[in-house]
């Protein structure tokens, strides 16, 4: 009897880590343009490689059976203190108003951070370029931990460009930030789209635990006049990469400066609303500072938040791959708590098999 069950046991053992990591997502998220690099941990492709008897036409069915919607949630009380002692039973997930069963739940604290820093260097922010540079340096100084976290710098004007690739050395990032000059148009959507793809395959820790927290920091006025991608495509890319977008607005048109000690925003201009949409949809936050000094505590809060979150995954009851947006609401049983997470996902159709025709 032992000899008969051993192959099934080995197959299940190989499949379990892949399912846990949630690499296989058939319908909720369209596959990235560049496939993620293979880590040292088992991947979703390994079981299929080991079992050569699985016919090619059966692969979509296998992918569908392991479809998951993954999210990272932050929970705070009314004093904006982070709540990190909740359990699975304390959460309730609704998709388009329908309750969903939570399949995976993990408290994820103090994970290594992988940060994409997007700096707007278009002509529209020329008067505020120094502010952007100071804000970017201040963010890195308050959030990035040496020998644990890593970041890359991407600028965007006529098109996005990686100025400094992944590094844990702040001096490289700071030097690259200070060398930037403003000019040209603005391709914000393209920058978010490409940065999200880069964050999909970040450098992984050398330790046994390969989990990291991905975050995209956008410092911009929210203007866009050159992108090939629509805002919805940029949001979709961020959702697929499971990143939270933290946006810092450089707009000051609606700041009251009668009292320099307490400037206020009267209105959100169109660019501010764009940044707010990116942050809200991805579960991040947007800031409207007047001075760089106004951001110091906010950056500290972001660092604490990114290390005090929950990982939640469920398999949706609605499996229709119709490209529609499905809204997600996350609630907790305790009163007075606020949950912030991604607002939903696009139910993209799975890729056609090699033998199918359009």
105 and 124 together in one domain: no
Tens of pLDDT along the chain (358 residues)? 444 444 444 444 444 444 444 433 433 444 344 433 333 333 333 333 333 333 333 322 222 233 889 889 999 999 888 999 999 999 999 999 999 999 999 987 788 999 999 999 999 999 999 999 999 999 999 899 989 999 999 999 999 999 999 999 999 999 999 999 999 999 999 999 999 999 999 999 998 888 899 999 999 999 999 999 999 999 999 988 889 999 999 987 766 556 666 666 668 889 999 999 999 999 999 998 888 888 887 788 888 888 889 999 999 999 888 878 899 999 999 999 999 999 998 886 544 443 333 3
Q: Which pairing describes strands 69-76 and 338-340: parallel, antiparallel, or unpaired?
A: antiparallel
Q: What is the pLDDT of residue 260?
A: 63
Q: What is the pLDDT of residue 177?
A: 97
Q: In the 8-state DSSP scheme, what is residue 294? A: G
Q: What is the pLDDT of residue 158?
A: 96
282 and 329 together in one domain: no
Give the residue among 1, 226, 236 at the shortest CA–CA distance from 122.
Answer: 226
284 and 151 together in one domain: yes
Number of domains in the chain: 2
216 and 128 together in one domain: yes
313 in any annotated domain: no
The angle subtended at Cα 166 by Cα 131 and Cα 44, nearest 5°, is 130
Q: What is the pLDDT of residue 258?
A: 63
Burial class (CB in 10 A: 0-12, 13-18, 19+), 80: exposed
User: What tokens appear for 334 in the block?
Assistant: 């305790």
278 and 345 together in one domain: no
355 in any annotated domain: yes
**Residue 184 and residue 182: Cα distance in Å, rounded?**
7
Q: Tell me the CATH number at 201.
A: 3.40.50.410
Q: What is the pLDDT of residue 255?
A: 60
261 and 279 together in one domain: yes
Residue 224 has phi, psi (to 5 degrees) of -150, 125
Number of H helices, E strands in the chain: 9, 14
Range of the domain at 63: 56-109+319-358
176 and 287 together in one domain: yes
203 and 182 together in one domain: yes
88 in any annotated domain: yes
236 and 161 together in one domain: yes
104 and 126 together in one domain: no
268 and 161 together in one domain: yes
Q: Cβ distance 223 to 122 under 8 Å?
A: yes
Q: What is the pLDDT of residue 346?
A: 82
Start-end of H helices in the chain = 2-21, 45-50, 59-65, 129-143, 170-178, 188-200, 231-240, 270-282, 296-306
207 and 336 together in one domain: no
Statement: the pTM of the whole predicted model exceeds 0.75? no
How many residues appear in the chain?
Answer: 358
Domain end, chosen from 281, 306, 331, is at 306
Q: What is the pLDDT of residue 326?
A: 92
């Amino acid at each position: 009897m032992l000899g008969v069950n051993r192959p099934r046991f080995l197959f299940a053992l190989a499949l379990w880590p892949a399912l846990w990591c949630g690499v296989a997502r058939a319908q909720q998220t369209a596959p990235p343009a560049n496939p993620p690099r293979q880590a040292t941990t088992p991947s979703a492709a390994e079981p299929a490689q080991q079992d050569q008897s699985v016919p090619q036409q059966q692969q979509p069915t296998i992918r569908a059976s392991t479809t998951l919607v993954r999210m990272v949630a932050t929970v705070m009380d009314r004093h904006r203190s982070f709540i990190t002692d909740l359990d699975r039973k304390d959460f309730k997930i609704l998709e388009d108003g329908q309750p969903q069963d939570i399949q995976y739940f993990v408290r994820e604290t103090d994970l290594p951070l992988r940060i994409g820093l997007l700096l707007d260097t278009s002509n529209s922010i020329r008067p505020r370029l120094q502010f952007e540079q100071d804000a970017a340096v201040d963010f890195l100084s308050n959030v990035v931990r040496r020998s644990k976290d890593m970041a890359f710098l991407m600028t965007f004007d006529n098109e996005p460009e990686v100025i400094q690739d992944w590094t844990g050395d702040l001096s490289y990032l700071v030097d690259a930030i200070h060398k930037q000059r403003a000019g040209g148009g603005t391709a914000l959507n393209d920058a978010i789209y490409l940065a999200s793809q880069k964050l999909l395959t970040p450098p992984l820790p050398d330790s046994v635990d390969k989990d990291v927290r991905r975050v995209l920091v956008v410092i911009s006025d929210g203007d866009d006049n050159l992108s090939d991608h629509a805002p919805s495509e940029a949001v979709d890319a961020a959702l697929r990469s499971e990143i939270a977008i933290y946006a810092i607005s450089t707009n000051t048109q609606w700041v009251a400066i009668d009292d320099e000690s307490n400037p206020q925003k009267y209105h959100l201009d169109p660019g501010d609303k764009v940044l707010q949409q990116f942050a809200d949809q991805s579960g991040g936050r947007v800031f409207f500072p007047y001075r760089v000094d106004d951001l110091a505590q906010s950056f500290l809060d972001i660092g604490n938040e990114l290390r005090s979150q929950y990982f939640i995954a469920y398999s949706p009851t609605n499996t229709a791959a119709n490209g529609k947006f499905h809204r997600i609401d996350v609630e907790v049983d305790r009163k007075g708590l606020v949950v912030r997470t991604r607002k939903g996902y696009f139910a993209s159709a799975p890729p056609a098999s090699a033998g199918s025709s359009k």
